[in-house]
Structure formats: structure tokens, C-alpha cells
Structure 1
Amino acid sequence: MPNTNDLPAAATSAGTPITSAPASAAGTWLLGGDLPVHRMGFGAMRLPGRTWEGPAGDPHTARAVLRRAVELGVDHIDTAAFYFYEDLAANTFIREALHPYPEDLVIATKVGPDRDPDHNWLGAADPAKLKDDVHRNLRELGRDHLDLVYLRFLGEDGPGDGRFEALAALREQGLIRHLGVSNATPAQLAEAQAVAPVAAVQNRFSPGHRDADAQAMIASCARQAIAFVPFFPLGGAGAPHIAGLRAVADRHGATAAQVTLAWSLAVSPAMLAIPGTSSLAHLEENAAAAGLRLDAADLAALTDG
């Protein structure tokens, strides 16, 4: 478990009681030191299609899921312009369901890669394309600024060649409030930080993907008051099959997915969860996981699994 004792006191607040807004029960993080978000958020990737190859999502349900997420206390939604399937797009659903947006709603997006209309992945974007992609997100979401924009790396491509500088310039213009990096190595994070402040890191992490490098990154983020936002928090294909998970779930009367989310939030107070779903039932389940408290025995059973 990462040592989070050095986490700046201003970065978090204590967990709140479960209320009609259960997503608030895991407490609050100050993104970039000034933008409060509940630690349980929502990822929009699965709304247009269940996978990158489909099948297509249902637009009515997608909009209902988004509206219900906000009702449940979600105030942090993660999206991207490349979250689409055929003519269905996450950004469009978000605008249709939630605009005009609640004042406290934080929308994060990612730029860097892109997909063509045939769903083929394209290479890393150059600075001009990154600027175009930011403006595309602004248009699609119907916003005059973006709360958080991640530069998503595809491997060895890094912040250099003016890429992070391009986003930093848009931040100076007021079009972006905070910057983040995604799929980043420690070297890429450091290179980006030399250009502009980094408020969040979005890397893969789950009970099934918790290698030493990932845990070191989480600890580093906590020390610097940088949010760590894991993608695929359930492993990418539902709750992982690890020893002890079912026993812990049964002990709490919870599902395996709920325990997995509660575990990730317990790893570090810098952790923000953004589980994604296109199901109202799963959304309710995920939001309730914010109030699930695991004890030392639970954590030991999961960590040793």
C-alpha cells in the first residue's frame, strides 16, 4: 500500500455520510488545489457502444444514465471526443442530457489519439491537431472552457515537440482550467510538469493491474497533491477474479464490483474513481460503493490475493 501520510491536508476532506447523493460518501478531492470533486465519478466511454466495436448503445438510456449519475452526487464526468460508435458520441449524450450544466459539474476530456469514421486508431496528434481537438470538445460539449484536459500518450510519444506547450497555451487563454496526463510514465509526467502544472494522472490500475510502477506513481501523485484517476478500475472486463474478493463482498453484503471500487478508493486518498457503465442498475451499484468502508482484514485479503 502506498504511503499517503505526506498528502497535503488541503487536498482531501473526510468522507461524508451516505445520503440521497451516495456518490459523495467517499469524500472530496480538490482538483488542481481549487476545484472540488467527489471521489466517485463517472466514465462515459461505454455510453456510445459497449466496446470500441459495438454493439451500439441506446441513446435514451445513455441520457438517463447521465442524468441519474448527477442525481446520485456524481460531479466529475470523464469523456473524450474519440468515445464514439458510428454516429453515437459520448460528448453529444453529455450535452443533450445535462446542458445547461450544474455549476459544480466537472467535465474532464482527453486529447492525443483519435479515431477515423471507420473506428481505426490514428497516430499521436501534433500541436495543431491537439488545439483542434480541444475546440472540438468545446463545440461538442457546448462549453466555453474545459475543466480538465488530459494529454493521452500512446507509448513512447511524450509531451515534447510542443504538444504539452500547445495545451498550456490554451490554458493561459482560459479555454482549459487544469491539465493532466494519461497513460504516462514518471518521465513523461516530469517532462509535462516542466511545462505547466499537472492536476491529474489517468493511468491503468486495478486489483488485477497493480504492479510496482503503478503503485509508485500513485504514491508520487499523492505526495504532490495530484489526483490519480485509474482507467479500467474493474480490470476492463468486469470485476477481477482474485482470491478473497468474493469473501469480502459476502461479508459486506456487497457485489464484487463494489468491493473492487471501494478497494481502489482505499488505496490512496488521491484516488478518484470513474467507473463507466451504460446500465442504470450498475450505475446505482457503483455510486453506492462510495460508502463502502473496508477494514484492515478486508484490505489484507484483497492485497494478498
Structure 2
Amino acid sequence: MRLCGEDIIGRPDDEANARAVVERALELGVDFIDTADSYGPGTSERILREAGAPEDAVVATKAGLLRESGGDWIPHGDPDYIRNQVLVSRDRLGVDTIDLYQFHRPDPDTDFEASVETFAELKDDGFIDHVGLSNVTVEQLETARDIVDIATVQNQYNVAHRPDEDERVLDACEEYDIGFIPWFPLAAGDLDEVDGIDDIADAHGASRYQVALAWTLHRSDVMLPIPGTSSVDHLEANVAAGDIGLSVDEMARLG
């Protein structure tokens, strides 16, 4: 998402830098990259193709959320739109089959089951390998699982934001062995209210943001955090968080 311009609209100021971020991620062994057709719109998918991501990593993209120039995000789960967007995303990414295609957000104006059935049809037709959901409840996950195998769920979740509903979703993902992809794993930097995070960071010679990422990895075996960045330095710091081992006591203090 952060490979785009300001407010996730249009091209970044430095496209060479954006490609360099992706290339460095691949060099560091990152093998899962999340994007969406609405990031730019289209900008992120194109840059990922130009940087070679689809050849060396699982690239997960999404459909079902429109982006307006004024900054609004508008749910749009119309089946015909999704069928169109899978073709657009395949072209931008330069692939015949999308690794993981996610329903970006339920649309209150479109029947949820109809939207998910469209993703199931795209899988049957060979356009995508796996189906994912984003921003869903446990009930919506259960409904979708009756239609198609669900590989992943992507909801907002981090050490500072753990509402009961998303805890229930994570529990369900653990039960069904579904990958859980927390978006905003760094809480958009808002970690001031997390008790003990700075003390724990100091003990590990790390930043509070690295500890927040390490917490997600320790929280569950099905967790796939997706920290976004437009900087190689930040990327390297994020990847290094995977080497931080938090103790049982530290996890308990973080909650």
C-alpha cells in the first residue's frame, strides 16, 4: 500500500525507490506480499510486477473496494465488477493465475454470498489459486466457508487494537488452520498506551515497532503480519523484528 503516492493515490514521488523496496524485500527472503487493486488504484500492482515480485513471492491482491480521488474508500462487491477486476489485476501483475485473491470488504449493497460465490467461480475457472477474505466477522467467515475453501482472513489487529470480534475471528482461523493477516500490525505508530512496550524494546535493543511486530508473530502460529513501508531502512527493521524472541513474561505484560 505504501508504494503509492500520498494518501495511497497515484504514483509515488520516486518510483525507482518503490521498486528498490520490493527488490530488497525479496533479497531478504520476504516471500509474501499483500496488495490490492485499489492501491493507487493499480499503482502498487504494477510496481510489484516491475520489481519482479510475482516471480519470487506469493502476491496476494484484493478486489471489492473502490478508491476515489478525494480519498474515500467505497465497498463494491458486485459480481460483475469482481469478474472484471480479476482480469485487470492479472494484467498488472503479469500473471496467468493470482496466488491469493481476497474480498477486500463486504459491501452492504451487495449480497455477501453472491460476492463470495464469484470468488469461488474465479477459483474454479483457474484465474486464482486461493480465496481470502478481509474485514469480516466470524459469521461471515462461516458463511464463506460453506461456499469455498478460505485460505486467509485479513482484519485489523495489533498489540494496541484487539477488539473482541477480531479475537473471535483469530480463534476461528486457528481452529480451521486459516492464515490470519493483521493489517496495521504497527497500529499506525499509535503504541503509547501499550504497557511495557518501551521497556521490552530497550531490553532487546529494538524499537517499540519491532516489538509490536514480534508480538504478532508470537501471538499465533497462523499470523502473517504485513507491515507497510516506502523505505528500505524501515523494511530492514521490520524484517529484523522476526529475530526478536519474546519471553512468556514479556508476552504476558504486553497482554
Same fold (TM over 0.5): yes
Q: Does 1:240 align with 2:194?
A: no
Secondary structure in 2 matching 1:122: strand
In structure 2, give the amino acid aligned to 1:176: I
Secondary structure in 1 matching 2:132: strand
The one-character-per-residue Cα deviations of 1:159-201 (angstroms, maximum 9, x if unpaired) are: 6352111111110111110001100011111111111010100
How has the CA–CA distance of structure 1 residues 292 and 99 changed in structure 2, closer, same or farther, with 3 Å as cutoff? closer
Quote the residue 2:2 is aligned against. 46
The one-character-per-residue Cα deviations of 1:12-39 (angstroms, maximum 9, x if unpaired) are: xxxxxxxxxxxxxxxxxxxxxxxxxxxx
How has the CA–CA distance of structure 1 residues 167 and 54 changed in structure 2, closer, same or farther, with 3 Å as cutoff? closer
Task: Please tell me the root mean square deviation across aligned C-alpha atoms, in Å.
Answer: 2.0
Quote the residue 2:172 is aligned against. 220
TM-score, normalised to structure 2's length?
Answer: 0.93
- Measure the CA separation in 1 of the matches of 2:83 and 2:221: 32
Quote the residue 2:163 is aligned against. 211
In structure 2, give the amino acid aligned to 1:63: R
Task: Give the counterpart of 2:55 among 101, 116, 139.
Answer: 101
Task: Give the counterpart of 1:148 among 68, 84, 100.
Answer: 100
Secondary structure in 2 matching 1:148: strand
Structure 1 stretches of 5 or more lacking a match? 1-44
- Judge which range, 61-70 or 188-197, deviates more: 188-197
Q: Write the mapping of 1:152-167 to structure 2, written as runs, cut at 5 A.
A: 152-154=104-106, 156=108, 160=112, 162-167=114-119
C-alpha contact (below 8 Å) 2:151/2:179 kept by paired residues? yes
Task: Give the counterpart of 2:16 among 60, 67, 73.
Answer: 60
- Measure the CA separation in 1 of the matches of 2:158 and 2:114: 32
- Measure the CA separation in 2 of the matches of 1:118 and 1:57: 19
C-alpha contact (below 8 Å) 2:9/2:69 kept by paired residues? no
Offset at residue 137 of structure 1 (A): 0.6
Offset at residue 54 of structure 1 (A): 8.2
Quote the residue 1:191 is aligned against. 143
Quote the residue 1:84 is aligned against. 40
Q: Does 1:181 align with 2:137?
A: no
What is the percentage of aligned positions where both structures have the same residue? 39
Secondary structure in 2 matching 1:240: coil
The one-character-per-residue Cα deviations of 1:101-141 (angstroms, maximum 9, x if unpaired) are: 12xx1000111111245554334231000111111110111
C-alpha contact (below 8 Å) 1:201/1:226 kept by paired residues? yes
- Measure the CA separation in 2 of the matches of 1:184 and 1:100: 27
Offset at residue 296 of structure 1 (A): 1.1
In structure 2, give the amino acid aligned to 1:270: V
Offset at residue 280 of structure 1 (A): 0.6
The one-character-per-residue Cα deviations of 1:223-244 (angstroms, maximum 9, x if unpaired) are: 1100000000011x22511220
Higher helix fraction: Structure 1 or Structure 2? 2
Task: Give the counterpart of 1:292 among 244, 247, 255.
Answer: 244
Q: Write the mapping of 1:102-117 to structure 2, written as runs, cut at 5 A.
A: 102=56, 105-116=57-68
How has the CA–CA distance of structure 1 residues 199 and 100 changed in structure 2, closer, same or farther, with 3 Å as cutoff? closer
Secondary structure in 2 matching 1:164: helix
How has the CA–CA distance of structure 1 residues 158 and 229 changed in structure 2, closer, same or farther, with 3 Å as cutoff? farther
C-alpha contact (below 8 Å) 1:261/1:289 kept by paired residues? yes
The one-character-per-residue Cα deviations of 1:29-78 (angstroms, maximum 9, x if unpaired) are: xxxxxxxxxxxxxxxx0111253368944211100000000000100000
How has the CA–CA distance of structure 1 residues 161 and 295 changed in structure 2, closer, same or farther, with 3 Å as cutoff? closer
TM-score, normalised to structure 1's length?
Answer: 0.78
- Judge which range, 250-259 or 117-126, deviates more: 117-126
